[in-house]
Each structure stands twice: as structure tokens, then as C-alpha cells.
């Protein structure tokens, strides 16, 4: 935002003090001996050195502060009204000049910038886009950004799902609201699968009781009932069957007047504190995402709790000569996550943040990534879940060259449980005239994706969803582990196959070999022709799946060799795995 600069300062005026001399003004005193003497010097107080009172000091501070006006007032009252914290707001109001305010605004957006080293700030752009959308879609006798729906949309973005009843009318209550049929005011329910700092599966209800388009946020689900105060109308199932009376709804003294049996009413009352707590979090400013983790990453703080261990794997897949997709797979043991149990459900949460920087220590464009990972299970299944692992995947497009990757993870339910992983990577360059290949990925899951998911989505490369197995310490030389009940899935791409000028076809032989490293014997040795897969292609994707039930426990190695009959070049890649 271009702020208006206002020149201002403190103007000091000189004070003139008139002294009164009395009747002897201008006369000199004469001593008895006849010597003329000058009148005695009187020390005059300096008003500028006088100690000021507390009242005067407070007034001076008020005078020094320029009144918030113009673009600065608009920025505070409108632009960031729903995303600025109370502490930030007070700090901004205490600033004394426009230069400080401009610097504050720059820092405000930078703290929330997902790519701090990028000239663009996608968070700031997204907020202003949300404001424009709110003004266009939620205006109701006042700008859309001032409405409750505008507030939530600006702060949290569009909902993952929305149940809209713009005309109200007949409404069949769900059982948790008492069941039965009634007539409703216009209302909407916005559903968010996850909101940082608030929780999972958040429903927000907006009701237009004035039927004027001004939907307000409410935690009282009975507020949308237009027949709530009409006797013997809009009854619940319990009221229809005579098990309850409608007037009993109004005597509970709770937040909601929902019908139901006495047991249900008590249960609803017990959950009202949770609804109040959730509403308070929703109306507060959204937290700055992973701010403490950024500080840890920048300053390498000494850990105060046990280190959070995790494993990382990086792979390389060619897109163009200048762009390589680098999938980063992070694996966390569920036994290392702190779970909290509530209402029979155990939930563990991990926050992950990473950055990729170049040789000059600058974060590359798009090099920041971070997401929450949640593990949720019925509490009786928690011991079994803790024996498993959770996997996070992020795919980054990078140019060939050397990079440094920093990854920090935090155990949300145990804030001192933090881990850090730092490695350098060398993204390869795939030359046009050289037979080459991608990483050889061993995976526990591999499947085709629907056409709408091709090229994007979690664990998706091209038209395949493939979830890599991650070795301990993330080392490519350390075997990844499989059980005999699983399939061994392996995936690799081959680049720059030669094409025969006459036939316009490739002519390469692909060999697959699996070796038992314990006995040094082959358990699989097979070949296929590239022309049988895609005869006119200079690039192939190799995807194979092998049941492991026939293999004995032990350590194995899979090797893929490509022999190009046109260019007379060869390339191969191998990976180790263990069968338990």
C-alpha cells in the first residue's frame, strides 16, 4: 500500500517574560562612602528547564503522536481488521510517525509471506483478493468485508464445503438438533476440514434472521428456527411423541434452545463450553503460521526437549532440460508423536516447515513449504496406530544445481518436541544427447489416478500415485523395509532413448533383476523391449509390482538396466530393500 506521507513536527515557541521594576526602576543605589553600587543580580528561573508534571508529560506524548488518518487508518480499520492481532494493533497505534508505520506494514506482511525471499507476497495478494470477493458477494446494506461472512472469508478463505439455504423455508432438523420438521430463516453452514490453531471439522453457521441478506455468525443452532417461539409449531420428534414439551426448551438457561430428551439436553449443555471456546478462537486473528518454527530454523535454537527424529527422502524426475521435479518425502514414526485423547478419539498433530536455498543462501522462489499433518484414531486402536508411520510429501520444481534443504517439524501437543533436518542436494541435469533416468522409487502404494488428478496431488507423478518407502536416516544406501504381505512397487523413468531414422521407433532392451544379497542368488531376471511399451517414444515410464509373499525374510536388491540399440548407450540404477 502506498502510504501518504504527512510532514509534521513539534514547533517550539519562545516565551517572553516581562519583568516589573517598581518605583526605583533605572535608579542606582549609593553606599554611605559615596561609591555607586550596581543593584544585586537576581537569578531568574529558566522555564525550559523546569521539571514537567506527569499531566504535562502525558500531554506531550499525545502531541508527538500524529493522528491516524488517511491510508494508514484505512489499512488498520479495513484491510487487516480481521487478521491483525491485538498486540500488533496496539503497537501500530503507538507509532509516532509515518516512516515507522510504513516499516510496520512492510514487516506485518513479511511475517506472513510464505516465500520471504520472493518479491511477491502471495498471502497479501490473497487477502486483498478475499476482500474484493467479500465486497462483491456478501454486501448487505454495508460493505461485504464488514459482515460476519466477509470476516470469516477474509480470515480463513473459502470453506471446503457449504450447505446453503438462501430462501429458508421447510427444514428437516438433524437428530442432534432434535429431529422433526420446522420452518427456517435463510441460513448457511460453512465447513472447514482444518483450521490452524482451531481444530478439525469446523462448522460455522450464519443466519439471516432479518431476511435482509445480512447473515450473522451464531453458535446457537436453534436461532435459524423461525417457529421457535410459536406455540405447538415446529415440534421436535420428542415433542411430537409427547416425550417432551416445547416450553421446556426455553428453561434450560443454555446457549441453545434445541429440543430432545432430558439426557440429550444435558449432553448439549455440556458441549456448550466447547462451542464458546471454538467461537472465541474463530473470532481471534489467525495465528502467523509456524512463526516459532521459522525462528528455530533461522537461529538454530538449542532444544529444550527430546529431539524429534524423522526420515527424509529426495528423488529427481525430469520435466525439461532446465526443470527437475524434486519430490521430498518425510516419514515420522507415530510412536514419536504425542497423542491427546478426547471423547474416545486420540489425535496427534505435527507441523512441518521446510525451505530450499541456493548457494548464496537465498530461498529459491517457491522454496518454502509447510503443512500440518494429523493422525486421528479411536483411542482403542491407538497402540496399533503407534506401530505405524505417517508420510508427508512435497514436490518442488528446481533447476539443476546445488541446494540446501532445511526441514523443521514440531509436535503440536508437545511444543518442546522439535526436530531439524539439513542436507545439501545436487539436482542433476539431463542432457538431450545422453541416455538418462530418474530416481528409482520403491513404493508401498502405486496406482493410476483419475484424469482430473494427472500431474498434481499428493504423491502424484504424471498419471501415477506412488508413495515412496523411506529408509532410516533417509540414506539411499540403507534398505527400505517391506513385509511379506505387501507388494514391492518400483517406478523409474528413462530419458533420451534413440529413435531409428528409418523405422521412427526406439530399440532398447530393459532388464529387471532382483538379487538375494544373503545368498547372492537371483530371484528374478527378466527383460522387455521398449518398443513393446511405446515404440515411438524417446521417454518411458517403467512401473512394476511384485508380491513379496514368495520371498524369504532377508535383504535384496532390485536393479534396472537399459541398453539402447540405437545410440549404443547404457544406463542402470539399483536400490536395496529388506523383507521382514
Instruction: Evaluate whether residue 368 is within a structural domain.
Output: yes
Contact (Cβ atoms closer than 8 angstroms) between residue 236 and residue 174: no
In tens, the pLDDT along 219-246 reads 989 999 999 989 889 898 888 888 888 8
Residues 416, 440 within the same domain: no
Average pLDDT over residues 22-31: 38
Run of H or E residues at 515: strand 508-516
Q: How wide is the angle at C-alpha 104 spanned by C-alphas 100 and 109, nearest 5°?
A: 155
Co-location of 334 and 273 in the same domain: no
Contacts with 22 (C-beta within 8 Å, 6 or more apart), sequence order: none
**Cβ-based neighbour number of residue 418 at 10 Å:** 21
The closest of 26, 24, 17 to 44, measured between CA atoms, is: 17
Rounded average pLDDT over 526-533 = 94
Per-residue 3-state assignment (H helix, E strand, C coil) for 192-204: EEEECCCEEEEEE
Short-list 346, 355, 374, 214, CA closest to 298: 355
Q: What is the dihedral of CA 268, 271, 275, 277, to 10 degrees?
A: 160
Residue 25 has pLDDT above 50, yes or no: no
CATH number for the domain that contains residue 343: 2.60.40.10
Domain that holds residue 236: 159-283
Average pLDDT over residues 381-405: 92
- In this structure, what C-alpha cell is assigned to residue 122? 502471495
**41 in a structural domain:** no
Confidence (pLDDT) at 41:
47
What average pLDDT is seen over the chain?
82
Q: State the pLDDT at residue 289.
A: 62
Residues 324 and 438 in one domain: no
Q: pLDDT higher for 313 or 44?
A: 313
Percentage above 90 pLDDT, the chain: 50
Residue pair 370/353 in contact by the 8 Å Cβ criterion: yes
Which whole number is the average pLDDT over 514-541?
94
Residues 209 and 308 in one domain: no
Residues 449 and 574 grouped into a single domain:
yes
pLDDT reported for residue 44:
52
User: What residues contact 469, with CB distance under 8 A and at least 6 apart?
Assistant: 442, 443, 444, 480, 481, 482, 577
pLDDT in tens, 251-266: 766 678 877 544 454 4
Q: In this model, does residue 17 exceed pLDDT 60?
A: no
436 & 493 share domain: yes
507-511-513 Cα angle (round to 5): 175
Greater confidence, 70 or 313?
313
Residue 545 · residue 491 · CB < 8 Å: no
- Let me know if residue 504 belongs to a domain: yes
Average confidence (pLDDT) over 134-150: 94
Q: Choose the final residue of a domain: 430, 448, 474.
A: 430
Pairwise CA distance, residues 147 & 140, whole Å:
8
Last residue of a domain, one of 283, 318, 340: 283
**Both 438 and 559 in a single domain?**
yes
Total count of residues recorded for the chain: 580
**Total structural domains in the chain?**
4
CATH number of residue 522's parent domain:
2.60.40.3880
Q: Are the C-beta atoms of residues 485 and 549 closer than 8 Å to each other?
A: yes
What's the whole-number mean pLDDT along residues 141-148?
A: 94
* 296 and 274 share one domain: no
Query: Are 351 and 361 members of one domain?
Result: yes
Q: What is the mean pLDDT of residues 85-99?
A: 83
Q: Is residue 559 included in any domain, yes or no?
A: yes
- What is the grid cell recorded at 248? 421446556
Domain closes at, from 385, 415, 430: 430
User: Residues 500, 504, 508, CA angle at the centre, nearest 5°?
Assistant: 50
The dihedral through the CA atoms of 166, 168, 171, 176 has a sign that is: positive
pLDDT beyond 90 at 475: no
The model scores a pTM over 0.75: no
Cα distance between residue 560 and residue 565, in whole Å: 16
- The answer to whether residues 193 and 201 touch, using CB atoms and an 8 Å cutoff, is yes
Task: Tell me whether residue 2 is in a domain.
Answer: no
Whether 491 and 503 share a structural domain: yes
Q: Do the domain assignments include residue 304?
A: yes
Residues 443 and 424 in one domain: no
Percentage, residues of the chain above pLDDT 70: 80
In a domain, 222, yes or no: yes
| Helices and strands of the chain, counted as H and E runs | 12, 28
168 & 270 share domain: yes
Where are any strands of DSSP class E within 334-399? 339-342, 345-357, 363-378, 389-398
Whether 321 maps to a domain, the answer reads yes
Predicted pLDDT of residue 178:
85
Return the C-alpha cell found at 527: 527383460
Q: Give 477-489 pLDDT, tens digit per residue.
A: 689 999 999 999 9
Amino acid at each position: 500500500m502506498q502510504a501518504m506521507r504527512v510532514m509534521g513536527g513539534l514547533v517550539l515557541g519562545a516565551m517572553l517574560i516581562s519583568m516589573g521594576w517598581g518605583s526605583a526602576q533605572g535608579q542606582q543605589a549609593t553606599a554611605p562612602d559615596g561609591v555607586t553600587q550596581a543593584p544585586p543580580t537576581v537569578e531568574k528561573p529558566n522555564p525550559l528547564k523546569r521539571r514537567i508534571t506527569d499531566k504535562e508529560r502525558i500531554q506531550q506524548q499525545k502531541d508527538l503522536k500524529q493522528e491516524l488518518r488517511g491510508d494508514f487508518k484505512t489499512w488498520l480499520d479495513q484491510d487487516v481488521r480481521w487478521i491483525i492481532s491485538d498486540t500488533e494493533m496496539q503497537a501500530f497505534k503507538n507509532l509516532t510517525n509515518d516512516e515507522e508505520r510504513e516499516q510496520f506494514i512492510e514487516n506485518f506482511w513479511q511475517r506472513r509471506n510464505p516465500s520471504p525471499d520472493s518479491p511477491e507476497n502471495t498471502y497479501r495478494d490473497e487477502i486483498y483478493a478475499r476482500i474484493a470477493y467479500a465486497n462483491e458477494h456478501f454486501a448487505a446494506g454495508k460493505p461485504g468485508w464488514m459482515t460476519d461472512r466477509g470476516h470469516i472469508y477474509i480470515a480463513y478463505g473459502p470453506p471446503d464445503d457449504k450447505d446453503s439455504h438462501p430462501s429458508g423455508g421447510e427444514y428437516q432438523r438433524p437428530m442432534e438438533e432434535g429431529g422433526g420438521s420446522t420452518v427456517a430463516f435463510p441460513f448457511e453452514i460453512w465447513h472447514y476440514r482444518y483450521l490452524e490453531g482451531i481444530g478439525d471439522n469446523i462448522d460455522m453457521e450464519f443466519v439471516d434472521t432479518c431476511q435482509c441478506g445480512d447473515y450473522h455468525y451464531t453458535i446457537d443452532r436453534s436461532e435459524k428456527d423461525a417457529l421457535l417461539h410459536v406455540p405447538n409449531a415446529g415440534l421436535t420428534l420428542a415433542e411430537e411423541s409427547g416425550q417432551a414439551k416445547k416450553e421446556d426448551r426455553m428453561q434450560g438457561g443454555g446457549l441453545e434452545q434445541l429440543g430432545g430428551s432430558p439426557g440429550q439436553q444435558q449432553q448439549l449443555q455440556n458441549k456448550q463450553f466447547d462451542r464458546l471456546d471454538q467461537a472465541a478462537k474463530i473470532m481471534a486473528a489467525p495465528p502467523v503460521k509456524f512463526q516459532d518454527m521459522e525462528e528455530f530454523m533461522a537461529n538454530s535454537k538449542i532444544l529444550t526437549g527430546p529431539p524429534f527424529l524423522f526420515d527424509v527422502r529426495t528423488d529427481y524426475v525430469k520435466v525439461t532440460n532446465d526443470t527437475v521435479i524434486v519430490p521430498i518425502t518425510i516419514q515420522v514414526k507415530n510412536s514419536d508423536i504425542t497423542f491427546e485423547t478426547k471423547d474416545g478419539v486420540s489425535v496427534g498433530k505435527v507441523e512441518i516447515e521446510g525451505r530450499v536455498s541456493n548457494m548464496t543462501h537465498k530461498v529459491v522462489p517457491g522454496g518454502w513449504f509447510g503443512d500440518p499433518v494429523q493422525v486421528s484414531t479411536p483411542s482403542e486402536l491407538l497402540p496399533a496406530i503407534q506401530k505405524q508411520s505417517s508420510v508427508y510429501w512435497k514436490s518442488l520444481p528446481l533447476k539443476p544445481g546445488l541446494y540446501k534443504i532445511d526441514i523443521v517439524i514440531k509436535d503440536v501437543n508437545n511444543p518442546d518436541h522439535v526436530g531439524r533436518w539439513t542436507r545439501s542436494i545436487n539436482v542433476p541435469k539431463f542432457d538431450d544427447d545422453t541416455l538418462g533416468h530418474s530416481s528409482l522409487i520403491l513404493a508401498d502404494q502405486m496406482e493410476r489416478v483419475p484424469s482430473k488428478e494427472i500431474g498434481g496431488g499428493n504423491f502424484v507423478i504424471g498419471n501415477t500415485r506412488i508413495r515412496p518407502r523411506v529408509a532410516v536416516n533417509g540414506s539411499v544406501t540403507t534398505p527400505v523395509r517391506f513385509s511379506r504381505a505387501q507388494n514391492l512397487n518400483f517406478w523409474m523413468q528413462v530419458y533420451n532413448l534413440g529413435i531409428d531414422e528409418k523405422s521412427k521407433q526406439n530399440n532398447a532392451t530393459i532388464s529387471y533383476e532382483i538379487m538375494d544379497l544373503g545368498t547372492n542368488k537371483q530371484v528374478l531376471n527378466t527383460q522387455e523391449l521398449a518398443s513393446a511399451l511405446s515404440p515411438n517414444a524417446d521417454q518411458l515410464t517403467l512401473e512394476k509390482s511384485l508380491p513379496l509373499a514368495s520371498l524369504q525374510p532377508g535383504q535384496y536388491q532390485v536393479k534396472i538396466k537399459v541398453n539402447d540399440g540405437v545410440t549404443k548407450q547404457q544406463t542402470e540404477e539399483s536400490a536395496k530393500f529388506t523383507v521382514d
